[in-house]
Each structure stands twice: as C-alpha cells, then as structure tokens.
Amino acid sequence: MSQEPVILDARGKSLGRVASEAAGILRGKTNVNFEFHTLPEERVVITNASRIRVTGSKMKDEKHERYSGYPGGLKEIPYERSFKKDPAKFVANSVAGMIPRNRLKKEILKHLTVYANNQE
C-alpha cells in the first residue's frame, strides 16, 4: 500500500523550517497511528532545494565537519561550498540531522527525495 508522497516546495523558505517539517513527516508524527518503533510509510519529496534560504551569515560562518579518525584528520567544509556543489545533498543532510540516530534512520531516509530544481 503505497501513499502519494508529500511534496514540499523549498523556494524562499528557511532551511531549518523545511528540514524540520520533512523530518516530522518522515518519522510519521503527522499520522494518528504514530509509534516510535515502527517504520512509517510516509514519503517526502522536496523540490527547489537550490532556492532555499539560509538566514544570516551562516553560509560563510558555519561549517560541516568530517573526522577520519586519524590525528589531523578533521576536515571543515563551509556551508557555502557544499551548497554550491550539491544543493540537494545539502538539504538532505539537514533533514538527516533531525532524524533520531537509531536503527530506523537509514530506512526512514530512503523515503526522502530531494531535487535541486522543480522536477515534478
């Protein structure tokens, strides 16, 4: 039984507001039969990720961090560079950060699709 996906248009909206709305839907919190331990069937499609708004000077100041596990292996990538490279992945990572870190996270994120432009 597959449902129609929820389509969120990110044009002109704040990154955090779109990401938190998508995360809530993906977790199944909008469903009356919500149970935290079951995989919900909701699917989310985010369009126009390249036109999302990041407020303030976060694009220049904030950084994504990756650590390889080795001494000196910390890499810091500014939001601006990662957004220019792939806006869809940038938004998907923001949504992923709002999903709880448990056994269902990977399965829940399979129900998320992000397009940089309008791909309907």
In a domain, 74, yes or no: no
Q: Report yes or no: 87 and 49 within 8 Å, Cβ to Cβ.
A: yes
Render pLDDT for 60-116 as a digit per residue (tens, 0 to 9).
999 989 999 999 999 999 999 999 999 999 999 999 999 999 999 999 999 999 999
Which DSSP category does 51 fall into?
Answer: G
Assess whether pLDDT exceeds 70 at residue 12.
yes
In a domain, 75, yes or no: no
CA angle 25, 26, 28 (to 5 degrees): 65
In a domain, 65, yes or no: no
Count: domains in the chain: 1
Residue 62, token pair as written in the block? 């904030």
Residue 78, token pair as written in the block? 């500014």
Phi, psi of 65 (to 5 degrees): -115, 140
In a domain, 1, yes or no: no
CATH of the domain at 10: 3.90.1180.10
Q: Report yes or no: 78 and 60 within 8 Å, Cβ to Cβ.
A: yes
pTM attached to this predicted model: 0.89
